[in-house]
Amino acid sequence: MMAMMLKEQGKLQYDDAVQKYLPAFPYSNITIRQLMNQTSGLPEYFDIAQGDMNPLDTLTNASLLALLAHKKPPLVFEPGTKWEYCNTNYTTLASIIEKVSGMSCEQFFARHIAAPLKLNNTYVYHLKLKSYPPSRVFGFSYDGSHYELNDLLRFDGIVGDGNVYSSVEDLYKWDQALYTEKLVKKSTFTEAITAGKLNNGENTEYGFGWFIRVPGKVVAHTGSWVGFLTEITRYIDRNQTIIVLENSANGYARTLIKNIWDGKPVTLPKTHVITNVKIIDGTGLPAVAGSVRVLNNRVWHVGKLTAFNGESTTDGKGKVLAPGFIDNHSHHDGGLEKNPSALAVTSQGITTIVVGQDGRSDAMDSIQQAIKKTPVSVNVASFTGHASLREKVMGKNLFRKATPAEIDSMKVLLSHEMDKGSLGLSTGLEYEEAFYSSRDEVVALAKVAGEKGGRYISHIRSEDLNLEDAIDEILAIGYEAKIPVQITHIKIAMRSKWGHSEKILRQLDRARQNGINVTADVYPYTMWSSTPRVLFPKKDFESITSAEFAVRELFDPEASVMVRYSPQPAWQGKTVSEIAAINKETTAQALLRIIRESAPPEQSGIVAKSMSETDISNFLKWPYASICSDGSMRGHPRGHGSFTRVLGKYVREQKLMPLETAIQKMTSLAAENVGIKNRGLIAPGYFADLVLFDPETVIDNATIENSTALSSGVEAVWVNGTLVYANQKPIANYPGVQVKR
């Protein structure tokens, strides 16, 4: 406003160079207009001054100009080419006002704005003023238990970008004066609330000190500093204004008032505090004693907290509170419609499942509609499946390479799914519907996911006979597509290759050093679960030689159980060796019989013992490996016990890693590895996905014989701030959401 008044007096022009008034200003091509509409490209003065100020220095407009002239920091962008809010614009403008008017900003403001409008409680104050206004209010910050004074800092000897103290009554007087010509002409102010233009002619959404919400109708501005939060929104077309001033830094008054104004339902903030816990926050840092306060669906405060009067509380009784676990590879979504409480998941502390695995996925819209139709107790994120894309484009003719035209069609479909929040591309290259795809096909699709900020997760082309080639392939995909890649449920499922895990991890470490962002996830079992057809790496399902190789190298028939077999239900629950004995044949012959009589493949499922404990431990310890279940609602015990098994067997009993490291792998690392934001840490602003457990008793109980047995030691689970599991039972709450990239 002060610059506009001086412009009307003919003392400056908007398109004048700043150097005309401030010769020491080091940038010759920045104009006053660009300062006013935030298109100058100046760097933020906080960053410039931070390293050059002594602890007792107070920054002023003059010292900032001298610092700019001395350091001449590079511009963030060329003037007029972009819009970016920067406080340095307004401090520089204030220096011009003082130079042109011949008086300080606080004097000019008091004489030409406050006095004419009779603003009796409005003034400019900064730390270099000799007089102290007795009516000055203070800002406060809340640390979780009490409010603390949050007063001006050493930057606050400066003016132009803040430090105007006022009241709602005075601001309303000022607001009403803007409809008149008491301060400036109508045409002058109209320019202030008109969107600025970039050099290329594009409009910004900002005028002179106003965000343009609706051109010609709604303008607004907000601000925050040292415990203060402010907002003014002017509905110009109907002469209505919202003015909110807060000095408690919580921000909820702004939300409530806006809801009242818009006629929306008004609900007071709902808080809950979990006290007396050991907080393992997901960063890997040691546990600390304290409490966590949840506000609605987010973590609000973390520390030594005191409950509010009447606030709901949970006494953690000294147990561990951690971020809710994120399952990087899950098939539990298949049972959510019938089991929306997701007991298999929540009972082991999982709050987010990542689905769309092994190349098979539902469309993002379908997932959203399913959750809307049947609310669930767990969050659901999803990759887009390669095989699902192939099937949509190629029909059932999947045992071949895709044509260039088919790949282009798949790229379009994938791009649309990425725009709707898919985490990226998943493949199941060991399965027949994708086994015959070329690397070029996968790279072409991975590039689409990478360009959209997504990731690539793969059940690689071989976990046994051609394991080395399969690892080379995923690393090549990461390199060529420039995309983070994850080897899902990493394993060595071939007896003669057991013990090679350290060699594989050295290869992955070298790849990371060479710029390939490769990660992995692991489940803590020596058994996998799938169709028995994966025991034939060459896809020669009638070869007795390959069947004998499978028996000798790829699984233990005496410890591998058919958990599903539609042609012969009586065989369910029996080992392959037992089935061979029933039919009086060799185990290799029994395997061929199982394959031959179970077409299509989904008629059969096997839990096969195939890996070594040493390799599993090495993979679990790798710093870039998160935890997964690869589980479903029943079948393999991993679906009910993967995470508690890590905590009980590998952390408490075997001491494979510190508890804090295991929690990091289940939370923040899991979130980072698949691109999930604002989950995986106990920190203010993060979603309140939380698990309370007893580290002395937590353990899995699920077995092949009883795959749905619930884990011990998980005391309570919250999803988005709502309790969903306690006392070994689901709570009838369904706060789960679709998590998008």
Which two tokens mark 185?
A: 């002409």
Average pLDDT in the 157-173 region? 94
With contact defined as beta carbons under 8 Å apart, do 382 and 366 qualify? no
pLDDT tens-digit series, residues 301-343 = 999 998 988 899 999 999 999 999 999 999 999 989 999 999 9
Provide mean pLDDT across the span 637-644.
97
345 in any annotated domain: no
Distance CA 101, CA 113 (A): 14
Residue 610 has pLDDT above 90, yes or no: yes
Phi, psi of 69 (to 5 degrees): -65, -35
pLDDT tens profile 441-495: 999 999 999 999 999 999 999 999 999 999 999 999 999 999 999 999 999 999 9
Question: Is it the case that residue 522 has pLDDT exceeding 80?
Answer: yes
Report the C-alpha gap between 696 and 701 in whole angstroms. 15
Domain total in the chain = 2
Chain-centroid distance of CA 709 in Å reads: 32
Q: In the listed set 610, 629, 661, which residue is the last one of a domain according to the structure?
A: 610
Q: Is residue 581 part of a domain?
A: yes
For residues 167 and 121, the answer to whether their CB atoms sit within 8 Å is yes
Note the pLDDT of residue 131. 83
> Per the domain annotation, does 181 fall within a domain?
yes
Residue 260 has a pLDDT of 86
Q: Strand 384-385 and strand 424-428: pairing?
A: parallel
Measured CA to CA, the distance from residue 382 to residue 487 in angstroms comes to 16
CATH of the domain at 85: 3.40.710.10
Written as six digits, the tokens of 132 are: 């102290």
Across all residues in the chain, what is the average pLDDT?
A: 95
User: Cβ of 131: how many Cβ atoms within 10 Å?
Assistant: 7
289: β partners? 278
585 pLDDT band, cuts 50/70/90, is: very high
Q: What average pLDDT does this structure show over 726-737?
A: 97
Among the ranges given (152-166, 210-224, 413-427, 442-456), the one the predictor scored with the smallest mean pLDDT: 152-166
pLDDT tens for each residue of 102-139: 999 999 999 999 999 999 999 999 888 888 888 889 98
| 91 found inside a domain | yes
pLDDT of residue 700: 98
54 — pLDDT class (breaks 50, 70, 90): confident
596: containing domain: 527-610
Boundary (domain end) residue, out of 201, 228, 262: 262
Note the pLDDT tens digit of each residue in 269-301: 889 999 999 999 999 999 999 999 999 999 999
pLDDT one-digit tens code per residue, 355-387: 999 999 999 999 999 999 999 999 999 999 999
For 175, 214, 254, 596, the CA distances from 263, given in Å and listed in that order, are: 23, 19, 14, 66
pLDDT higher than 80, residue 143? no
Backbone angles phi, psi at 527, to 5 degrees: -115, 140
Query: What's the whole-number mean pLDDT along residues 195-199?
Result: 96
What does the pLDDT read at residue 145?
66
Per-residue pLDDT, 144: 67
646: DSSP letter: I
Taking 90 as the threshold, does the pLDDT of residue 142 lie above it?
no
Band the pLDDT of 15: cuts 50, 70, 90.
Answer: very high
Give the CATH number, domain containing residue 580. 3.30.1490.130
Asked if the structure places residue 281 within a domain, the reply is no
Nearest 5°: phi and psi at 450? -65, -40
Two structure tokens written together for 4: 């506009």
Mean pLDDT of 203-221: 96
In a domain, 386, yes or no: no
In a domain, 677, yes or no: no
Q: What are phi and psi of 689, to 5 degrees?
A: -90, 115
Pick from 294, 236, 245: nearest CA to 270: 294
CB 153, CB 226: distance < 8 Å: yes
In the numeric block, which tokens belong to residue 408? 């282009």
* Residue 691 or residue 566, greater confidence: 691
Q: Give the CA distances from residue 537 to residues 30, 70, 84, 550, in Å, rounded to whole numbers and listed in that order.
A: 66, 68, 56, 9
What does the pLDDT average to over 2-10? 97
Last residue of a domain, one of 570, 594, 610: 610
Query: How far from 567 is each of 107, 143, 570, 595, 719, CA to CA, in Å?
Result: 92, 64, 9, 11, 41
* Cα distance between residue 192 and residue 63, in whole Å: 29
**Strand boundaries in 237-317, DSSP class E:** 240-246, 271-279, 288-295, 298-303, 312-315
pLDDT for 426: 99
Instruction: Kindly tell me if the per-residue pLDDT of 37 is higher than 80.
Output: yes
| Domain contains 63 | yes
pLDDT at 59: 92
